[in-house]
Amino acid sequence: MMKLHSVNFHHIDACNMTCKYCFRREQTGKFLTQEQKLEVITKLAEHFEKITFVGGEPLLDKDLLPMILHAKQQGMTTMVVTNGLLLDDQFLSSAQNYLDWIGISIDSLDEDTNKKIGRSTNKGFIPNRDFYQNLLVKIKQYGFKTKINTVVSKLNLQENIKDFVQEVNPLRWKVFQVLKIEETNGTNFSQFEIEDMEFSSYLQHSDIKQLVPENNEAMLDSYYMVDSLGQFFSNTNNRLIKSHSILITEVLDAIKSLGIDLDKFLERGGKYQWDTLTNNVNV
């Protein structure tokens, strides 16, 4: 059976930051056990080549390392996307042999902008250029492949981080147009919303080979995503739709119930050479 490509497992809803436009802000109060999470991964591994652990903030989940190990044992390429606050030497050394990629969410290098976005902690920590640069150097030193995710909104539209991206030299730079999802970030979304032409104006980085842009149209119905209860979900017409949990239904049946568009997945660059790309450690 030919496998699909990549799936995102949003295995935890909690986060240590409060980004105001985050579309994963559901707090169901329900959680899977470690055994159930591993079962979800086992089922996903039958159909997908690569898994990305996301949140919330994935490093808040005490089960993250066992999940990454289990996914690797199932033959999957593994990635974590994180805000980076908890990426200490202990985690990096522990995950070194079975985590392939680390993606860092970087919307701005300016502390004031990050504070307005909500990319800060309740203890007052606000990331800046030095924090991100030092973090990416450390990640590369441990041998992980690197990616940067940037969400473009009205708050950071005028900021150009091209020089920083070129300096730290990730393998991929994913740039997203901020996306409205009624159930989670729809309230007061006008303070973040940008038009397609504004998003295009931000993308004046054509000489950066790692740039992978995604506007709202490219994102809708083009991601394979599983939530913290094991349900596939999709962003359709700016609303969330969900399947039954794959703990009680088959993976392919769950996917079919959502109408995820594989062609759109491929068109937005969802499939790339994640196994053969090699980091340049000199930053």
Catalytically annotated residues: 15, 19, 22
Beta bridge mates, 235:
240
At 106, list the tokens: 């970087």
According to DSSP, residue 237 is labeled T
Cα 257-181-71 angle, rounded to 5 deg: 55
Say how far apart CA 281 and CA 106 lie, in whole Å: 19
Q: Would you list the DSSP string of 186-200? A: -TTGGGT---HHHHH
Q: H/E element holding 141?
A: helix 129-141
- The pairing of strands 211-214 and 225-226 is unpaired
Measured CA to CA in angstroms, residue 204 lies from 112, 170, 208, 236, 265 at distances of 23, 18, 9, 28, 23
Nearest Cα residue to 137 out of 168, 161, 92: 168
Say how far apart CA 7 and CA 124 lie, in whole Å: 33
